[in-house]
Amino acid sequence: MGKCTCTQPQIQKYRSKISGPLLDRIDIQIEVPRVEYKDLAGGTEGEGSSLIRKRVNKARKIQEERLKKSDLFSNAKMSSRHLKVFCPLDGECEKLLEQAVDVLGFSVRACHSVIRVARTIADLEAEPEIKRDHLAEAVQFRSFDRGSGQSC
């Protein structure tokens, strides 16, 4: 299979077949570029599964502890009401989210999704507060909202 030769309008037409409200319900939307075999075969070793598992389990415990009084067990289940309580954003984060809405056209649902993902990123780093870097990373996970992808 070769590289995609589609034009940007062709890609946008293809993607427009997936409705916005449906995409809005998908929290993490990233493009995964094609990887050449040589990069797979001789690549560097990443973080091991056991270390990742420990960090994820620790983040889950943080979430469970934070959410136990609300009968929720994970950040993914938080409603907008929960976000206000458990995910306060400082001025820097508010400004970044405002830019995401203004420049990238994020919907309310997309904003809530970004905040939930940012909270999870912060939990994975054992950070008690959502920081600008966490929010910026979560915004990056909404690549299809940006419509900037070049591959199909």
pLDDT digits (tens, 9 = 90+) for 97-121: 999 889 888 889 989 999 999 999 9
pLDDT: which is higher, 20 or 150 = 20
Tell me the average pLDDT across 50-68: 95
Is pTM beyond 0.75 here?
yes
Q: How many helices (H) and strands (E) does the chain have?
A: 9, 0
User: Mind listing the pLDDT tens digit for each residue in 64-105?
Assistant: 999 998 989 999 999 999 999 999 999 999 999 999 889 888
Rounded Cα distance between 80 and 108, Å, is: 10
The answer for residues whose C-beta is within 8 angstroms of residue 107's C-beta and 6 or more apart is 20, 24
Q: How far apart are CA 40 and CA 93, in angstroms?
A: 36
What the chain holds in terms of domains, given with CATH numbers, is: 53-142 (1.10.8)
